[in-house]
Structure 1
Amino acid sequence: MKTALSVAFAAVAAILPTRSEELPASLDKPYLGCWLAFSESRDFEFLIGGDGDSELFFEKDRKRLMTGGCTLKVYYVLEERVGKGEKARWSYRRIVQDGFEEFGKETDDPPLGKPVSFTATYTGGTKVKVSHIFSKRGVEISTRIVDKGEARGELRAGVKILVGDLFRHIDDEDLEKKETEAKLEETEASVLPVGERRAKRIKFEDYEVNLTKEFPKGARAFALESDRYADHEFELTTANPDYGVISFEQKREVIHGFHVNWFPEPAKVSEKDARLVIRVK
C-alpha cells in the first residue's frame, strides 16, 4: 500500500508545483492556517487543512469519492465547562485564525508510525497539541491541553467527526416507499455501548432510530459500512477502549447525517493510549 504525506506552508500553497494539483478539490484553495498534511493509501486519503479541519476521503479504483456527504469531516475541538449545578454546560471554543505552532519539519515522505503534530491556539489563549500517527490501516489522533490560557473552568479537548448526509437525494416523502428501503439496506452501523460487552447493530432502514437517545451514556466503539462509501467501513474507538468515550449528536433522521464526538476519559487524559483510532477497511 502506497503512502504519501506532504507538508507545506499556506503562504506558498498557491505557487506549489505539481503537488498542489494532487490535492482533493475541496481543499485546493487558500488556507487560513500555516500548513497541511496529506496521507494516501489504497482505501482512503486523509488531509489536514490549514484552517485546523481535516477530511477523510474514501477511495474506489484508486480514485476519491467526491459525492456529497461521502467524506468524513474531522474537527479538533476544545470545550470549557461553564455555569454551576443544573445550569452547567460545555461551551465550544474556536481555533484562532493562524493560531498554529510547532507544526514540525516539512517532508513529503515521512515514516509510518511517527507523529505529525501541531499546537493550535483557541479563543481565550488555550493551547492544544494535536498529534496524528498514520498507518496503512488508518490514523490515530491525540489531543492534549498544554496551556489553559485564560480559561477558568474545566477544559476538555477532543475530536468531532461529521458523518455526512449519505442519502440527501431521499426526501421525507420518499421514506415510506419500498424502493427507498432497498437503497438503505446496504448501510449499517455497529455501536458498542459504554458498560456493555456486545455491540448493537443499527440498520439504516430503521431511519427513525436516534443515536443520541439510543446511547445516552455514549459508546466505546462505533463502525459504519455503506455502499455509499464504495463498500468501505470505518471504525472509531480508543487505543485502550476504556480510556475514551464516543457520543452522538443527531438532529435529523440517521440517514441524513450526524456528529460523532470523541473525548478521552478525564482521569486518563495523560495516558499514552488515550487517543482516537480511525480504521478504514
Structure 2
Amino acid sequence: MGSSPIVPVMSSPGIATAPPQPAHDDREPGTAAGPPVTVVDWLMLALAVVSVAAVVWVSFWDVSQVWYDRVVIADYVVCGIFAVEFVVRWVRSGLGWRFPLLYWYELLGMIPLGLAASPAFRGFRLLRIVLILLRLMRAADRAFGDRVSAYVVGRFSGAIVNAIRKPITVAVLDEVIAVIQTGNYTRHISSAIEENRAEIDTLIIDLIRQDQTTGKLRYLPFHDDVVRLVADTVLRLVDEGLADPRVHEIISDAIRESAKELRENIGSDQHAAVKLDQERFGK
C-alpha cells in the first residue's frame, strides 16, 4: 500500500487568525522585579545601578562641592522614586506588615546620601559603606531575581561575618578609645569620692583599726582623734593627687597601653584560637 499524500490545509480567507500576544508580566503581585520584564523594571534597575555608582563616586573620589550637592539632590529624587515604588508593591502584595520585614534591606537602602553624610552621623565612618552594600543588594534583586541578595547573604553569612568582623572590631575599638581618651577621669573619681565621702571615711577608719600596725594607736591617748586625723589626711591627699596633672597623664598612659594591647590581641593567633574554642564549645 502506498502512503497517502499529504495535502496542505489552507486557511480560509474568511477566518481571522489571532495576532501574537505580547510579553506580559505574570509575576505575583508585590514581588520585586526579577529578572527585569517590563520597561519599569529596567528603569528601576538602571536607577539602582546609578544610585550605587553615585554613592561610590562621592565616597571614594575627590568631588567638588558643586557636583557633590548635585549628587545629593539627585539621590533624594532617586530615593523618593524607590519609596513610591516600594509602597505600590506593598499595597499590591497584600502581605501587610510582613512585606517591609521581608524587604528590610530595601528600606535601609532608601536612606538618602545627604542624611548619611550629615553631621549627626559624622562619627559613623562605616555608614556609607553599609549604604553602598544595601544598594548593591537592591540592584542585585533587580537584575537577578526577587530576594536573590537575601539568599546570597544567608548562604554565605558565616564567611561574610568572618571577613568583616576583625576590621569592624578594630574600627569600632579605635572610635571608642578615642572617645575614652578625651575624658577627664581624675575629675570623675574626685566627684565619686565626694559623693561617697562618708562611706569612704568609715571604711578608712575601720581599716586603720583592723591593721596590725596602725591598730596599736588605740593605746595612745586621744586615739580616736588620731585615727580621725589619719583618715582625713588620706582623703585630702587623694583629692590633691587626683588634681595633679601627672596623675591624669598616668591614667591616659594606662588607657593607651591597654588599647595597644587590645589591638595586638585582636590580630594575634592566640585570640583567633580562643574565638575558635568559644564557637566550638559554646563558651
Scaled by the length of structure 2, the TM-score of the pair is 0.21
Higher-Rg member (1/2) = 2
More helix by share: 2
Scaled by the length of structure 1, the TM-score of the pair is 0.21
